[in-house]
Amino acid sequence: MEGFNEQVVKRVNKAKQLIIKIISVIVLIMIPFIGAGIAILTHIQYIFMISIFLFIGGIYGVWYVFSQQKVEYEYSVAGNDLDVSKIISLRKRKLVCRVPINEITELTKDEKVIDKMRFTKTFVAARDIDSKDENYFAAFNSPAFGKCLLIFTPNEQILEGMKSHLDKKLVIKIFYQKKSY
């Protein structure tokens, strides 16, 4: 019986996520002030009441935006398939890609090797995209997209689960740090 390995990786929040949060809070705070200003200029007090209701609804909107920034990636190896799923705030799961492990033509930590290649589609499912020492780059052929690249952060269990299905040259290069000729 084949093994099943699974790993969940939390995405590191970057400046982009912080900016989204700050802008959403600023917009929320501005709603009552804009409503009050319009109500004073037009002498229609209902506009201020509407802005208060929009503010209350905006609180839910800001909470939703904050929760959407919590992203995790799940890697699972079952047989010859590596499934990568994106989990958004523990509510929504989306399959990012399914990679047949025996179709992987290159698996490396060296970004220079990947920079020389061209890909039609790139799947990013890494904990921290800027982390050079922990990310792996997997090049594979997909029937739907052609030559694809997967950037992910597997642990030793995931790599061990992939080991029996990988090309022997890749196994020697990754696990035994020898160059195959």
Backbone angles phi, psi at 167, to 5 degrees: -60, 140
Residue 6 has pLDDT above 60, yes or no: yes
Residue 9 in any domain: the answer is no
Counted domains in the chain: 2
Per-residue pLDDT tens digits for 77-136: 998 899 999 999 988 999 999 999 989 999 888 888 888 889 999 999 999 888 878 899
Per-residue pLDDT tens digits for 131-175: 878 899 999 988 888 899 999 999 999 988 888 888 888 888 888
Q: Which domain holds residue 35?
A: 15-68
Residue 47 in any domain: the answer is yes
Residue 95 in any domain: the answer is no
Does one domain contain both 121 and 170? yes
Q: What is d(CA 131, CA 64) in angstroms, rounded to the nearest whole number?
A: 28
CB 85 within 8 A of CB 40: no
Does one domain contain both 51 and 107? no
